[in-house]
Structure 1
């Protein structure tokens, strides 16, 4: 059975009114708003809901994809009205769609940037920034050229409106914004690929900050992260000082009890999950080195894979040391164990240098072996998975000793999903704009004590 697109599928203005205030009324107070939305490229949208004909896609029917994308633009421009719009699965391969978005967004005051995925995948990213609120100082593109042909966009923007000016004077405040779409976790073997994609994004941001001597700027990461709050990617991003703006606005924690309070996606398998995030990192966060967080995240994957085979702590240590009769792990045995759990030796596995760096993190005293204590502290109990919430949420009331330096940042004022049913963990059957919900966040400027380690 083919599901036809009709006007009945488009949300009415009355049903969206409660979301309008997020991007509209509160704007007068000097806040900025941001929307992230995976709009489901027509080349991927199946029209046969019974899956009897997998080849029948929306892209074959102009009336369907044109009507749905017009409705998406209506929603973005007249209901969400965000200063920053980050779209994923934008159909960059269709000139008519590209022209329609660029013209309508341009007429509404936005400057837009599109980026296709590598290897002619057909879809990609589109980011639009409203010129009345933010000006784009620099735009960079990140091509992963990896297993998933994923890409990311980096924007360096500064405020235009006076309410976002620096507390010290008339120096415009600056912000870094990223839009991306991570690989879908088809199976657990792709956990490392997804983790590496995030690692490269954070390296890219860090490199840009060093290159441009940006010490105290807030960073906003937007997109479809294709992973839940219980996954390795989520924990890795959290370990680098980022907070989920939606969870912050609704006082949700990283606990298992709060892991499924909301959803944002119904995937092709029919499962509903929360995968769309707008991350915020203020410049007052106390951060550990990025390489350390990366190593801890990979050790977390190793522990997951070993526990998946029912290996307890002692058995896992024995597995890693292999045939070595001493009470320690050698580098060669470590590599062989990683090969057996498919973390090296595959096209998307750990590289030689990554493996060496990982070993250097595990061998804390540099004696060339990893003893049982090092194994427990660095591999079996990686710090990032055990950190209490207080460590990740550095108290902004306690800056560095002996300094009163201030930094510009944001506080999460509000955050909502549309359709609103997903905030209760439900997926409405009458929603057809996409297989993702849109997330809109309002951030208000704040002057924070600067305690971030650079």
Structure 2
């Protein structure tokens, strides 16, 4: 269960701006963002909507807390936090860039909340530049095992920070989502209204409202944490939908920002896609979810030197149909089971032929896994140990989940969730899952998801549906900085963070959306 805390939505943090960079607003009068000599800024086209209000720009950036930044490869315990001049200089540069770009919304992760000097610097400069800020530290009130011991000692020292330009928005509400889970993760939810009326129609002036979320998901230290990461997203979506229902905000767009610690190929991303969210960066560059486009850009290089795209600004417009959340959740967990079944069998087969101490052998094994297409019957046998006929019982299902670490661990599925998952798989409700049911609900669930998505946006399945006009967002442009990240590369001379800065420009747009009872 997510703990929710309401905070004052209109807190104002003042102070003086002390910046050595030109911090003029890069949003020009014609609704474009122009590039200047500093390499900052992005070009976007104008639309009719721009005549009514300026575009909305949003930046998400994991600024790498000094307590995590390694400064000596030979001494991994030595961190930047030990050297005031170093972390102070780096964070001053980060602020210079943020204020130079002057996005209307800034979402930061790994903000070093335990250092009063750094906190004061951010609050002072952002406040004087016209931003209202909200910060939320990770919870740190319990431990969940050895693999988290080190992280738990540091968890309370970094947090989320969201900054919003006061002249552009009115903050109608602010909530803090405390997951109280094994990773002590949290999320911020802001209910935002644009200060500029979009346009005037027969019903009067239209004011655009939307929901904004900033979060930082658990890092996948091992595959056992896949379901914990899904839990975190599930909790966010549950709370967002509850908030929409309570405040009659079905026609509001949703922006999910942050470091998701997972790529487009992971179950978290697929889960969000099934709920109508799209990657703003990929929309701007016309990239798809295909394997060919999955590595076109990166946004993070970890301490091992691996690079991947993990930072997203995800958009869900009100005209996007969404599956019932429980159904999407079940399909995401089935996806983990499917992947684990494939991996388990391929790994067992390959280990017989290769020395697993050989790094190249491990790499080859992973490549083989990516290319393989396992016959579903083999996976069905994996879930159905022993000779129980051509069906899967609930007890065998639970045992299979235990084998792949989806249950039996503090951060695994609860008994209630396991039963719900079984009900989703047992279509006929006869107490067993037959082979044909398995193929439909587990093995081919992603195919069904894609088929539904292709026809769901404008499909009306009820004669009682009515259409209303809503205001959503068009993605105008999106840029990663450093620019090499847009080509799937990481520059060696980049030192601001181990993450790229992602900025997306949106423009308001009118759209028609259906009003129907949606299962939340």
TM-score, normalising length: structure 1: 0.91
> 1:7 maps to which residue?
none
Runs of 4+ in 1 over 6 A off after TM superposition: 164-167, 397-402
Q: What is the SS of the residue equivalent to 1:412?
A: strand
User: 1: CA distance between counterparts of 2:503 and 2:45?
Assistant: 7
- Aligned residues of 1:216 and 1:407 also touching (Cα < 8 A): yes
Say whether residues 1:100 and 2:124 are aligned partners: no
Among 289, 295, 298, which residue is 1:260 paired with? 295
Matched, 1:376 2:411: no
Residues in 1 aligned to 2:224 and 2:392: alpha-carbon distance in whole angstroms: 24
- Contact kept, 8 Å, 1:179 with 1:223, in 2: the verdict is yes
In the alignment, which of 226, 232, 242 is matched to residue 277 of structure 2?
Answer: 242
Aligned equivalent of 2:232: 197
Map 1:206-355 onto structure 2 (within 5 A): 206-310=241-345, 312-323=375-386, 325-355=388-418
Q: 2:31 aligns to what?
A: none
CA distance in 1: counterparts of 2:222 and 2:455, whole angstroms: 31
**d(CA) in 1 for partners of 2:88, 2:341:** 48
Residue equivalent to 2:453? 391
CA shift at 1:151, angstroms?
0.6
Say which of 97, 102, 118 aligns to 1:81: 102
TM-superposed CA distance for 1:325, in Å, is 2.6
Q: Distance in 2 between matches of 1:259 and 1:81?
A: 29
- Residue aligning to 2:83: 61
Partner of 2:66: 42
Quote how far apart the aligned CAs of 1:185 are.
1.3
Measured after TM superposition, the shift of residue 397 of structure 1 is 9.8
Shift of the 450–115 alpha-carbon distance from structure 1 to 2, 3 Å rule, reads same
Residue 168 of structure 1: CA displacement?
4.3
Contact kept, 8 Å, 2:168 with 2:194, in 1: the verdict is yes
Q: Distance in 2 between matches of 1:244 and 1:361?
A: 28
CA contact (8 A) 1:22 1:416 kept: no
Rate the CA distance shift 1:91–1:18 in 2: closer, same or farther, 3 A. closer
Q: Could you tell me how far 1:400 is from its partner in structure 2?
A: 7.7
1:373-427 Cα offsets, whole Å, 9 max, x none, are 1111111122368615x82585569898664421110110111111111101111
State the distance in 2 between where 1:413 and 1:313 align. 42
Whole-angstrom CA distance in 2 between matches of 1:419 and 1:430 = 10
RMSD over aligned Cα, in angstroms? 2.6
2: CA distance, partners of 1:399 / 1:448: 19
Q: Indicate how the Cα distance of structure 1 residues 279 and 164 shifts in structure 2: closer, same or farther if over 3 A, else same.
A: farther
Query: Quick one: distance in 2 between partners of 1:433 and 1:17?
Result: 15
**Is the contact between residue 236 and residue 297 of structure 1 (CA under 8 Å) also seen in structure 2?**
yes
1:171 Cα deviation (Å)?
4.2
Q: Deviations over 1:122-178 (max 9, x none)?
A: 101000010111111100011111111111000001110234778842242211000
* Cα distance in 2, alignment partners of residues 85 and 399 from structure 1: 39
2:200 and 2:324 map into 1 onto residues whose CA distance is 30
**Structure 2 residue aligned with 1:71:** 93
Query: 1:154-209 CA distances to partner (integer Å, 9 max, x unpaired)?
Result: 00011102347788422422110000001111221111111111111111101111
Query: What is the SS of the residue equivalent to 1:405?
Result: strand
Compare 367-376 and 394-403 and name the one that shifted more: 394-403
Decide whether aligned partners of structure 1 residues 168 and 230 sit closer, same or farther in structure 2, where only a CA change above 3 A counts: farther
Change (3 A) 1:159 1:150: same
Superimposed CA distance per residue, residues 301-324 of structure 1 (whole angstroms, 9 cap, x where no aligned partner): 001000112274212222323335
Structure 2 CA distance for aligned equivalents of residues 166 and 189 of structure 1: 53
- Summarize the Cα distance change of 1:88–1:272 in structure 2 as closer, same or farther, 3 Å threshold: same
Question: Quick one: structure 1 residues 225 and 23, their matched pair in 2 at CA, closer, same or farther if it must change by over 3 Å?
Answer: farther
Pairwise mapping of residues 405-420 of structure 1 onto structure 2 (< 5 A)? 405-420=468-483
Give the whole-Å Cα distance in 1 for the aligned partners of 2:96 and 2:242: 37
Q: State the Cα distance separating 1:27 from its structure 2 match.
A: 7.7
Secondary structure of 1:215's aligned partner: coil
Which of 169, 174, 178 pairs up with 2:209?
174
Gap change, CA 1:53 and 1:435, over 3 Å in 2: same
Q: Which residue is equivalent to 2:430? A: 367
Contact 1:397 1:449 in 2 (8 A): no
Structure 1 residue 277: deviation in Å? 0.3
Between the aligned partners of 2:71 and 2:200, the Cα distance in structure 1 is 49
Contact 1:236–1:384 (Cα < 8 Å) also in 2:
no
User: Alpha carbons of 1:118 and 1:98: their partners in 2 closer, same or farther (altered >3 Å)?
Assistant: same
CA contact (8 A) 1:264 1:274 kept: yes
- Match of 1:109? 130
Q: Which runs of 5+ in 2 are unaligned?
A: 1-20, 24-34, 141-154, 346-373
**Number of residue pairs matched?**
441
> Is the 2:256–2:315 contact (alpha carbons within 8 Å) kept by the matching residues of 1?
yes
For 1:431 and 1:384, how far apart are their aligned partners in 2? Answer: 40
* Larger mean Cα displacement after TM superposition, 340-349 or 12-21: 12-21
Describe the shift of the 1:204–1:414 C-alpha distance in structure 2 as closer, same or farther (beyond 3 A): same
